[in-house]
Amino acid sequence: MTEGVKKPQKKRCPKCHREFPVQSVICDTDSTLLMLVQEDTLLNAVLAEKYRVLNEVGRGGMSVVYKGVQEFVDREVAIKILQSQLVSDPTSVKRFQQEAQAASLLRHENIIKMYDFGIHDGRPYLVMDFLVGDSLSDIIRRDNQVECERALKIFIQATDALAHAHRHGVIHRDLKSSNIMLVDEDGKTDVAKVVDFGIAKLLPNSGRQSQNLTQTGEIFGSPIYMSPEQCMGHILDARSDIYSMGTMFYESLTGYPALMGKTIVETMEMQVRETPKQFTEIRPDLNLPKEVETIIFRALEKKPDNRYQSMEEFRDALVHVSKILANRKTPANPRSTVSNIAAPEKGGQDLSKARINAGAESMKLKDSVAPATNKNLQAQTGTQIKDKSGTVPAIPKPQQPAKPFYENPKVIIILVVVLILVTAGGFLAMQMTGTRF
C-alpha cells in the first residue's frame, strides 16, 4: 500500500483531542478552532517487506513515530519516519540521515537500539527498539520530583550512556527529561534509555562525514536544558551535554527547571547569566544531600572550563557520592547478638539462660581483668589508656618484691651487734661468778 493523503473525513480539537464531523468548526467544549484530520494510509503498510506499521504513537516537528512489528520474528519495533511535507526539504532529509548515522555508531545498554534504516515512498525511516515505560518528564510531572537515591541510579546510567556516545564522536545536543526513557528490562527496574539523536552532532573522531547542517549562530535544542554556549550559538563540544545533564538532574530532584523565564528568549538569557537557586531555597522540605548539590552545580557552571571536563568524570562523581550516601544509610552491625536459640524442653535445663549467664560471667571476668591489663600496657608503652568514663586512671608504682634477710645490710649489722653484746654479757657473768669453762 502506498502512502497518500485522502479527503478529510473528520476534524479534531487540538486542545482536548475530541473528534467532530467535518462540517463542525469550533469545539463545543473549549471553543477551540477544529483542525482537519487527514487519513494516514501508511497504517498497515509493510516497509522493506518485513516491518508492518500498526498505529501512531507520537509526532514531532520533523517526524512521526509508529508502533510496528517485524514480521516472521514477531518483534515489536518503533518506526520513525520523516513527515511527508519535509521530503522535498534537502536539509530535513540530511538531518534525518545524520540521526541514522549517529544511532548506528552506538551500542550501549542505556541507548535505544537501532535495527534498520530505509526509504519508503521517498520518505526515510528508522527502525528501533519499541520501549514500554515512562519518560523521566512523565515521572517528574506525576510525582513532582524523583527521590534522590532513585535519581542517582538513573543519572549514573545516563551519564555512562553519553560517555559512550562522546567516545564515538557523537554529541546529543538535545538532552531533556522527555528524552530519557525508564523501562523494565531483564528483571531490572528503572533501566534508563537515552533516545532521540535527531539533532546530534558528529565529530571528526566519529569516522562519519558531518553534513554541517547547523551553521555558527544557528540555535537548536530545548531552552530550559540548553547550555550557555548553545544559547549563544557557539560551537559545541561534549561539555554542553554535561550542562544539559545537570539541568535534568536539578529538575528531577527539585521538580522545577533550573532556570526558566516567561519567554524563550528570557530563559536563554538566564542560562547565560543567572545561577539556579540552591536546593534549600527552592525545596527546603526535601533536605537534599549537599554532596549531590555540589556535583550538580559544578555541571551547571557557566564556563565550560569550570565544569566536569568529560562525562566519565561526571559519572564517577555520581558513583562516588552514591556509595557515600549508601554507607551513611546502612546501620552499624552490633558486636554480638543472641538469637534463634531453641526454647528448652519441658523439664529440661534452659540452655539459652545458661549461655546468657555464662556470657555475663565471662564479661564480668573480662572487666575485672581489664584494668590490670591496661595498667601493664601503660607501664610498658607509656600510652594512656582511658577507662569507660573517658578519664585516665592513676597508675600505682609497682611494688618491689621483698629480699631475703641475709641480703639486707642493715639486718646483718644488727645481728652482729646483738651477737657481740650477747658474748660480752656471757664473759661478764662468768667473771662475776668465778665460773670457768
Rounded Cα distance between 252 and 288, Å, is 12
Among candidate residues 236, 253, 50, the one with its CA nearest the CA of residue 139: 253
CA quadruple 151, 152, 157, 162: dihedral sign: positive
Rounded Cα distance between 203 and 196, Å, is 17
Q: Annotated catalytic residue: which of 40, 129, 174, 196? A: 174
Rounded Cα distance between 432 and 419, Å, is 20
User: Torsion over CA of 161, 167, 171 and 172, rounded to 10 degrees?
Assistant: -10
DSSP assignment of 190-206 equals EEEEE---TT-EE-GGG
174 annotated active-site:
yes
Among candidate residues 20, 2, 3, the one with its CA nearest the CA of residue 11: 20
State phi, psi for 377 to the nearest 5 degrees. Answer: -65, -40
In DSSP terms, 64 is beta-bridged to 59, 81
Per the CB < 8 A criterion, the answer to whether 47 and 79 are in contact is yes
Which residues are the active-site residues?
174
